[in-house]
Structure 1
Amino acid sequence: MTTLFLTVGLPGAGKTTRARQLATEHSALRLTPDEWMIPLFGEPEADGKRDVLEGRLLWLALEALKLGSDVVLDFGCWSRDERSAIRWLAELVGASCRLVYMPVDHETQRARIARRQSATPDQTFPMSEADLLHWRTLFEEPDAAELDRHEVGGPPHGWSDWLEWAADRWPSLV
């Protein structure tokens, strides 16, 4: 059975470093939107294009899983719904999904981001203190049940299934 490794955490948590390690350890395909956004669009968000890019990378991940390759998705996935949808999609193609949560305290996060912006400004994007604090309020930390790979529940109210929800969240998925 193939495995989708899904990194979860805020910017500066060490997700990309861990994703690279996992890709090497498991001979897995690593997909990281941050490495595509600036080369393709010159900025990290580009008017909703990140959602489109993530959808295509998620589609590619599912195709690779079907072909027998493990995949590491370095997305961050701040919401429980995003993580549930991706786990459901992985199961749909016969793969398992392992969440790799990378917690980070605010001081460590700030220091890592400052180092990254100083060392490789062309490979990152500016993040203010206000951004970091705001993003912490948006991040839904995974609980023990989610990390222990319990069953994926149903989609949020108003959605018939996770595929419908995911196709709305990542418009280029299907």
Structure 2
Amino acid sequence: MNWRIDIQKTGVLLIDLQEKLLPVIEDRDRVVHKAVQLVKLAKLFSLPLYITEQLPEKLGLTCKEILELVGDTPRIWKNTFSAVPFLPPELPKVILISGVETHICVRQTVYDLRVKERTPYVLGDAVSSRNKLDHQLGIEEMRQDKVLISSVEAVGWEMIEKAEGNLFKEFLAILK
């Protein structure tokens, strides 16, 4: 299997980055900052973007930092922990994942994506849980199951082809 990221076969999934949930998330500011970078990279490389909201009537909408960037991108409301039952069947082969909580919705989505023969990349710097230990255990379990764990910056560098030109300048501005 080729582990290189082909932007023609890659999409981005933001899981439950909601206003009422984020205040209790460990390292909330880092997670939101990295999710914002990921959205900007998705736009730069024209990647499909999927955004889920868990019970938005209770947990609120996606945080304003993300909403300001995504415009009219549809948000997918869900009532299951895995996002997969609510995602379109024609998903790209590779899915870059940011969101909360690592050990619940992110983890269950990852395993369901694998069942659907997709390759999820969990962006470890763009996911978290309410409790640091739950986050660490979720990452550790997925890593032991050979789920690809990476970072927003690492996948960004994987997607850029050349260290020159306007695209590269825009890319560098995103990662600052």
TM-score by length of 2: 0.41
Q: Name the structure with the higher strand share.
A: 2
Q: Name the structure with the higher helix share.
A: 1
